[in-house]
Chains A and B, each alone.
Chain A
Amino acid sequence: MLSSIGNILVILVLTLSFLIIYNASLDIKFSSQSIKKNIYKLSLFQTTFTVLSFFTLIIGFVISDFSLINVYENSHTAKPFFYKVAGTWGNHEGSLLLWVNILVIFSYLFLVFNHIHDKKFRLYTLIVQNILILGFLFFLLLNSNPFNSIYPIPLEGLGLNPILQDPALAIHPPLLYVGFVGCSIFFSAAMASLLSGYGGKIFAQSIKTWVKISWCFQTLGIIVGSIWAYYELGWGGFWFWDPVENASLLPWFAITALMHSLIVLEKRNTLYSWVIILCLLTFILSVTGTFLVRSGILNSVHTFASDPSRGIYILLFLSLMIFSSLIIFFTKYKKETYNFNLKSRETFILVNNWFMAFFLLTVLIGMLYPIFLDVLTNVKISVGPPFFNIVIIPLVVPFLFFMAIGPKFGWVKSRNKFFYKFFFLILGAVIINILIFYFFGKYSFLSNLIFIAAIFLILQSCIDVKKIINNKNKFELPRVISHLGFGLLVFFIGVNYQFSLEEDFNLKVGEIKKINNYEVNFQDIKIKDNKNYKAVIGIFKLTNFKNNLVQYLEPEIRIYSNPETLTYEAAIKTKITSDLYLTMSNVSRSDYYNIKFQNKPFMICIWISALMISLGGFVQLTLKKNED
């Protein structure tokens, strides 16, 4: 029943896509100023049906309708309601439907909210976007249909991988999808701009809100993924330079560069071609990432059972996208002359773009090189943290400096008046760094530089905050929040890296272990039955002799029944200054448990500063509204 409803809805959406493309191509030739009413109507219907199809799938998961293969494979009646819903996008087919939903919704919103812009430009955007929608709909129907049915109907489902049953992971995919798939709309707009000749300043105005929305959600999505890895995987880290994490960073670098260049295009009406390249690149990189992860070329928790035919389809689609966009770009490309003064804001924004391009290339090479090597020579290597740390970290130092200095320059040309201010701030940063170095411990020369640069950016941003409060000039606020967030992020990651404590040992109930100024006392063990798992909970009394603080930590071993899996839940006590982190795992045929104890300074501050970066973007979006 749900299977037929879902299929009918998807086919309706497909038909509407064709109708929209047909009607829009007819309407382009008309010289009237406004777009025909029926195109709006078709687009609205399309959005409604897409959303309905997604709801149909959610209902399938909620009522555990195992006649849908997708529900049977990824759900179970004993799953809590929340995870039944989240299971909808916790698998390949369901997430593809979500993908189509975002394409369609953005297509409609762009059509409605950009009414002040050129008709031809809007219609071309609509056409390109609907071609993308068609591509993904065919993929969905032919290869990955979430509404395929199964007969006889199974009595029980196979269940969702327990490590995916986590609140952070339930919201991580939708955030990332809005972020990555949202890029499709300015991909389409860039193509439309090339086709219709509607470029320059006004083009920047038409896409800037959409770029910001995508940027905010991408940033937030990546952070939530990282938080999940920290709390759920129990490895005690938050970024591993894993190929899949890298795949998510590539579009992020491109979109961050785009967001900055767009300001130059809007204010100075230059850099048009570069902005177009970045628009195209961001979405192409998003699809490339999806391809690499979904086809199973890169392996990780994100690889839902891999399937070669799936890979070939996305690859074909990707090739079409790249070649058509390149050919259109080169045909329409006009040479621009740039006339930038060295001491102007636009020069510094370009500097930001060089850094972003450099980071992007580094990560791209680190990600692609092993794949190339494997295919060409059969040699398997993995490029890990050492490579990225060596190449990227030294560049972060000048990057932080430019981030602090750049926004202080005015457009077109500025005078030298504030160099002495920078000098005092750098001096301040050096002094703070020396104090940290002297009182808390030694670290390398490079770390010193990183700390100085980060503190400099933080100080500069704090001064900016004060200025904003005095002048009530709120339009600088989003930038300051994001830049301050980034400075703090680098600073806290540095501190965390330098001053972490980690210890691995075995204990049984009643035993005590001393580590530095901590005492771990394994007091008791209890067993608890939950709806979809059984938990073995250890009770640990942790005493800190430095401040005579006693805390209780309760790490768990969870035994899930469907599918039968063991997971280890870390007990984490979070304070502003540090996280105490304790995991335990059972040792068979023995009363001993293996304990991993970590004291990680400023973890919560890392999350807060990362969230600040994306908060800056959200603040800007709300400011934009008030301005209108």
Chain B
Amino acid sequence: MKISISKIIIFIFIIFSLFIFWQGLKKNNSYDTKSLIGSRISNFELIEINNDDQYISEKDLKKNKFTLINFFASWCSPCRAEHKYLLNLSGKNKKIKIIGINFKDKKKNANNFLKELGNPYNFVGRDLKGRNSILFGIYGIPESILVDNNLIIIKKIVGPIDETQYDEILQLIK
């Protein structure tokens, strides 16, 4: 085999790609956020959906014993299915505060959604383009993250909250 520049370039490109794949494996589950349990939330800042001047950050979360961060959208049908559990949580339990993050939605639709179904959230933040949610490792909604007052993630729910998960949340915040 004669060695030429084009061959070297091809080999370098392939080795580089395979190396990236290998590194990608180590980072595995970059989108599977179950591995996030136990890790700490940082650089957290959310702007209120209707009011640009009002925002919430890490400091505010530290005041709550537990915080459930819930990602929702008016266009998402399963979000409607889980809504009653969120309402139950916010009504019954004083230890937990619920923060809603409105994901890739229109402001008007989101407000109508909450007007119609009731608002379980202590604060509704906006993420109209879905940028912040990516930082949380969200790949589909609904998803919810339960954090304690040290901002450590203690539970992560992918998909709508159901009866069992609702009970688990109650157990965790006892």
Contacts and interface: CB of A to CB of B under 8 A. Distances in A.
Interface of A: 291-292, 295-297, 299, 306, 308, 311-312, 315, 318-319, 322-323, 326-327, 330-331, 368, 371-372, 374-376, 380, 504, 506, 564, 566, 568, 583, 585-590, 592, 594
A587 B117 contact: yes
A575 B22 CA distance: 49
Contacts of A295: 24-25, 28
Contacts of A306: 28-29, 32
Contacts of A323: 14
A162 to B, nearest CB: 12
Most buried by A among B18, B26, B118: B18
Interface string B147-172: 00000000000001010000000000
A372 B20 contact: yes
A587 to B, nearest CB: 5
B28 A585 contact: no
Contacts of A564: 162
B28 A308 contact: yes
B77 A594 contact: yes
B18 A589 contact: no
Interface stretch (B36-44, B47-55, B78-86): B78-86
Contacts of A566: 77-78, 81, 160
Give 10 nearest A-B pairs by CB, closest first: A585-B77, A299-B31, A311-B25, A308-B28, A588-B84, A331-B1, A375-B23, A297-B24, A330-B1, A588-B83
Interface residues of B, number: 36
Contacts of B160: 566
B24 A588 contact: no
Contact of A375 (B27, B116, B117): B27
Contact of A371 (B20, B32, B81): B20
Contact of A299 (B10, B32, B118, B134): B32
Contact of A585 (B1, B10, B31, B80): B80
A374 B21 contact: no
A315 B22 contact: yes
Contact of B80 (A297, A331, A504, A594): A594
B25 A308 contact: yes
A322 B32 CA distance: 29
Contacts of B134: 380
A326 B28 CA distance: 28
Contacts of A380: 30, 134-135
Nearest to B19: A375
Contacts of A586: 77, 80-81
B57 interface: no
Given A315-B21, A330-B7, A588 B28 contact: no
Contact of B24 (A327, A371, A585): A371
A299 B29 CA distance: 8
Contacts of B31: 296, 299
A315 B80 contact: no
B18 A588 contact: no
A322 B135 CA distance: 35
Given A368-B17, A371-B24, 6 more contacts: A297-B25, A308-B25, A311-B25, A315-B18, A371-B21, A587-B116
B82 to A, nearest CB: 9
Nearest to B112: A506
A589 to B, nearest CB: 6
Interface string B66-104: 000000000101101101100100000000000000000
Contacts of A318: 18
Given A506-B116, A564-B162, A590-B117, A297 B28 contact: yes
A281 B118 CA distance: 55
Contacts of A291: 21
A309 to B, nearest CB: 9
Given A291-B21, A306-B29, A506-B116, A589 B1 contact: no
Contacts of A590: 116-117
B86 to A, nearest CB: 10
Nearest to A588: B84
A77 B29 CA distance: 32
